[in-house]
Every structure is written in C-alpha cells, then in structure tokens.
Amino acid sequence: MDVKHYYNPNGQEILDEGIFGGSPTGFVDFNRSKYKWDSNIYDLMNANTWFPSEVNTSTEKRNFEKLSDNEQAIYKLTFAQLSFNDSAQEEYLCDFRRLANNRLVKSVLSLQIMQEVNHSKSYSVLLDACGNSEEVFNLYKHDDALNRKNQQISEQFARHIEGGSVDKMLLSAMASVNLEGIYFLLGFSYIYLLGDKVPGARDMIKFIARDELNTHLPLFSNIFKTIRKENKILTSTIDSAYSMIEDAVKIELEYGNYLLKQYPIMGVTPQLMERTVHNYANDRLKKIGLDPIFKTTDTTYLQKLVTKHLNMNEVKSNFFESNVSNYAKSSIDLDDF
C-alpha cells in the first residue's frame, strides 16, 4: 500500500470526501463533517459507553438454575446465536471499513468495532457467571439449526465484502442493516420474555440492544442512503438489496420457529414471530429509503417488549453509572435525510 493511503496532501478537501471512492488527505476532523449524522452518532455512541462489569451478574447462576428445562434451553441457544452475531460483526466491520473513503465515517466504524468487542466480552462475563460459558460457545457443534443460521449470516457478510464497485459496497452495507436490524431481534425478545427471572441477562441485553438499535442501525441506514445519494446505483442492485432482506427474514424465522417448536414459550406463536419480523423488516426498509414489502400489522407484543427496554430511565440506577443513565437519545439528530 502506498504512502498516500496515510497522507496525501494533494487529496480531496475534507468536505468533499464521499463514502465510496476518492482519495482523502488523511485527517480526521470532527469540526468539518460532510454529513451531520456521522459525528452525531459518534457522540451518541460515546455517551452510551458501558462496561459488562456494570451489570450485576452475581445471582445469574442461581437464577438460571431455577428456570425450567425449556427456558434454560432457550437461554443457552439464544446467547449461543447472539454471541456469534457480535463476533462476526466485529470481523465484518474491519473488512467493510476498508471499502470506505470518508475518514470521519471510518472513525465512527472504529468506535462501532470497539462496541462489538464489548458485546462479545459481555457474553463471556454473563455466561461465566452463569457457569455454562464453554457449553454455550460450543453449542454450534451440536445444534444444526444454530450452525445453519450462523453459516447463512456469514455467507451474507462474505458475498460482497471484497468490494471493487459501489454496488458491491452498497450490498455489503445491506448485510449489516440485516444484522443490526433483523438477526438480533427475536433473541432480544426471548431474553426479555424471561425478564425478571434472569435480571443479569436482561440488563446485559438492554445495553447491547441500545447500541445495536439506537446507533449501529442508524449508522448503517445512513451509510446505505448516502452511498445511494452520492452514486448511480444499478436497479438490479436495489433488487438484490430487497432479496437480501427477504433472505434475512427467512433466516430469522427459521431459527425462531426451530426454537419455538423444540422449546415452546408461553404466549409465543409462529404467527406472532412472523408478524414481528415482518414489521421489523418493513421498518428497516423505510429507514434505508426503500419501500416496505412485507405485510404490515399492528405493533406486536414482542416489538413492544424490545421498545420498552430501549428506555434508559427504566434501568435501575444503582446498577449503572450516571453517565449512562443520563443518556439522552432524543436530543440528537441522527438522520440528515
């Protein structure tokens, strides 16, 4: 790689750096942002900084042992899958970051990478407290459905990550919209359904969900929309983006239905899961400037559970540092469009 990659005095003006293509001078200047959303999302990510040690996991083992066999299986298979999502996302982001040109957007991706590592660390802390870390991290060896979901997510990540064209970069960003906006969601709601029975897991998931849904999803929605706005994108590429979210819905429902069939959870039906995932997918399509293509229904109970836990004020203040509790999402504009 030549020296210009690091410093190019003849490179683009900072305010001209697009997301795809170009040659940046090499400075990261938070005072001159081509987009408003990038520095706003960076600030929000920082304001939301948390550490796994802030969650009280001291009673997790005792609480886990009181769960029914079905609930224990759901707990383990949910964390086995969610922990894979974060491990994969960290690696994917390092690769995706290489495709990006705008240095400030790259800086926000760097912070996101750190947060995904923090999520991986939090699963290890939680499962260590629960006493089943190795068992859960090894479940992919014994569970075909889990292995299949992980495999399908990896394939979606890998398909366009080599870049080389703006269309490929756009579809790579779509893989991340799916990860942040679809593949976590049933898992989050399962842990919220267990709720007060496992407060350590619930509170850890609250923090992770806030990162994914309040900052990572807006980051990739903005990246997707900006790439489209700045470049001419083939119609067939947009068709592929729709196919990718259709695949994501299938992948999420396939694992959800498998879990439900093996380990029924009170009140959850295949129809409820389908309505939930379809509503989420429509919302994600709207967020990236595309049209909803799934049947829309009223907000489901599972969606309401996830939304309820995004409200920081509900977190018991003695568990968390005040900087986290004071986190004020509504005051920051995350979308320039």
Catalytic residue IDs: 123
* Binding of residue 86 to Fe ion (CB under 5 A): yes
- Of all residues in the shown chain, the one whose CB is closest to Fe ion is 216
Q: How far is CA 83 from the centre of its chain?
A: 11
What Cα–Cα distance (Å) separates residue 84 from each residue in 89, 140, 146, 149, 181? 8, 10, 10, 10, 15
* Beta carbon nearer to Fe ion, 92 or 263: 92
Helices 217-230 and 36-47, axial angle in degrees (round to 10): 170
Q: Which of 34, 119, 160, 202 binds Fe ion (CB under 5 A)?
A: 119
- Binds Fe ion (CB under 5 A): choice among 212, 256, 303, 320: 212
x/- binding map, residues 21-60, to Fe ion, per CB under 5 A? ----------------------------------------
Site stretch for Fe ion (CB under 5 A), options 12-20, 63-71, 160-168, 207-215: 207-215
Q: Check residue 216 for interaction with Fe ion (CB under 5 A).
A: yes
User: Which distant-in-sequence residues (6+ apart) come within 8 Å of 265 by Cβ?
Assistant: 70, 71, 74, 190, 193
Give least dist CB 244 to Fe ion, A.
Answer: 17
Stretch that binds Fe ion, among 140-148, 153-161, 213-221, 306-314 (CB under 5 A): 213-221
Stretch that binds Fe ion, among 40-48, 79-87, 152-160, 161-169 (CB under 5 A): 79-87
Query: Residues touching Fe ion: how many (CB under 5 A)?
Result: 5
DSSP state of 299: P
Q: How far is CA 85 from CA 40, 213, 268, 303, in A?
A: 25, 14, 23, 20
DSSP states of 92-158: HHHHHHHH---HHHHHHHHHHHHHHHHHHHHHHHHHHHHT-HHHHHTGGGT-HHHHHHHHHHHHHHH
Shortest Å, Cβ 176 to Fe ion: 8
Residue with tokens 């912070």: 111
83 vs 276 by CB, closer to Fe ion: 83
149 versus 216: smaller Cβ distance to Fe ion? 216
Handedness of CA 155, 161, 165, 168 (dihedral sign): positive
Candidate ranges 12-20, 32-40, 114-122, 190-198; the one touching Fe ion (CB under 5 A): 114-122
Q: Does 206 bind Fe ion (CB under 5 A)?
A: no
Positions 264 through 293 that interact with Fe ion (CB under 5 A): none
Instruction: Answer for the pair 276, 300: CB distance below 8 angstroms, yes or no.
Output: yes
Instruction: Point out which span in 4-12, 72-80, 90-98, 119-127 binds Fe ion (CB under 5 A).
Output: 119-127
Q: In the complex, what is the shortest distance from the CB of residue 318 to Fe ion, in angstroms, rounded to a whole number?
A: 25
Interaxial angle between packed helices 270-287 and 235-262, expressed in degrees from 0 to 180 and rounded to the nearest 10: 150
Between 35 and 123, whose beta carbon lies closer to Fe ion?
123
State in angstroms the smallest separation of the CB of 40 from Fe ion: 17
CB 332 within 8 A of CB 215: no
Helix (H, G, I), strand (E, B) or coil at 12: strand
Q: How far is the CB of 216 from Fe ion (least distance, A)?
A: 4
Residues found near Fe ion in the complex (CB under 5 A)? 86, 116, 119, 212, 216
